[in-house]
Amino acid sequence: MELARTAAIVTGAASGLGAATAAALAAAGATVHGFDLGPAVAAVRDAPAGVRYADVDVCDPAAVRAAVDRAAGGGEPLRTVVNCAGIAPSQRILGRRGAHDLDLFARVVQVNLIGTFTVLTLAAERIAETTPDRHGQRGVIVNTASVAAYEGQVGQAAYASSKGGVVALTLPAARDLAQQGIRVMTIAPGIMLTPMMRTVSPEFRAGLGAGVPFPSRLGEPGEHAALVLSIIGNDYLNGEVIRLDGALRMSPR
């Protein structure tokens, strides 16, 4: 699928995987509408050419619908959606302070799974209104899960549950949207060098990287962005989850 002179949406676009992906899509010729929370958007300096940021909470369906409508109504067909928005708090089911905070569990699922589904659904509605390309394709939606969906560690019950839901959503979403010419894929990153990871010591990061079989390092956000571009460019990729993890399999801790 061609990206030039099309519109794209990236959630969590103000930093990390989302920022790298938004920049890569814009460099490929798309007009990118980057959704993120207000403080994150306000903190952006020197936005890449072709990226327009908007204060959008993926947990607010009305705000998502309005932002999707703006992205789809700008004169270029909406073809691409990449869901990167997410949170990753850690808490054991039973810890020193008692039982897992039930509201926290619900919040993680709300952001990571329901937020992803909300953007996917409302964007697909607008993508389906566009004229298909010569191959009958109207768009591509790429969601972001995590290797925690498969090997959740101690304290990741909420996070692993939410990302496991994103994995399980992939195939039925692809089947549901096939008749509209919309592909759905998911990337499951391993340990990536996100802004949060940059706050820990180099020694700690090196220890994490050493546990990755090959290459023995943390993943770069640009590698996630490159995989998104590869998915968009390969029309036969659909309904699948791709691990981006250097063959890492997470230990219990």
Q: Which residues does residue 55 pair with via DSSP β-bridges, in sequence order?
A: 36
> What is the C-alpha separation between 164 and 154, in angstroms, rounded?
15
Q: Which of 219, 139, 131 is nearest to 185 (CA)?
A: 139
- The length of the chain in residues reads 253
Q: Which of 14, 115, 230 is nearest to 23 (CA)?
A: 14
Catalytic residue among 53, 150, 159, 236: 159
Q: Is 32 left (phi over 0), alpha (psi -120 to 50) or beta?
A: beta
Q: Return phi, psi of residue 243, to 5°.
A: -80, 135
Pairing of strands 51-55, 31-36: parallel
> What is the C-alpha separation between 179 and 164, in angstroms, rounded?
25
Is-catalytic flag, 53? no
Residues carrying an active site annotation: 159
